[in-house]
Amino acid sequence: MIQDLSVLVAEITIGAWIQPGEPNYALFAQATRTIQSLLDSLTAAKEQTSKTSDSQQLINSDGADNNWDPYINSQSWELEMDFWASLAEHPTLIN
């Protein structure tokens, strides 16, 4: 679909579909600019996604431990374990 839209934009831009001066040329020109902007955004997002996946592959291939757990050193007393149990008694929730 992206390729089809790219072809459509190219054909309208070179004048294969409509020529300047024809009744709907301004409408087609604006639609072409809008479609081209959308295509530019999509290709930029696709490039960003591929760069992100490439960098993720580099991180994973550098020999780092893939089983790293960010919470391995957290102490249980840092978290209030019965938070949900005592939530009903919270002063701001009592009528």
- Tens digits of per-residue pLDDT, 10-68? 998 998 988 989 998 989 899 999 989 888 888 887 777 766 666 666 655 555 556 66
Looking at the 3D structure of the chain, how many domains does it have? 1
Indicate left, alpha or beta for 43 from its phi (over 0: left) and psi (-120 to 50: alpha): alpha
pLDDT confidence of residue 49: 73
Indicate left, alpha or beta for 18 from its phi (over 0: left) and psi (-120 to 50: alpha): beta
Long-range contacts of 78-82 (CB under 8 A, 24+ apart): none
In a domain, 85, yes or no: yes
6 exposed, middle or buried (CB, 10 Å; 0-12, 13-18, 19+)?
middle
* pTM of the complete model beyond 0.75: no
In a domain, 61, yes or no: no
In a domain, 63, yes or no: no
In a domain, 25, yes or no: yes
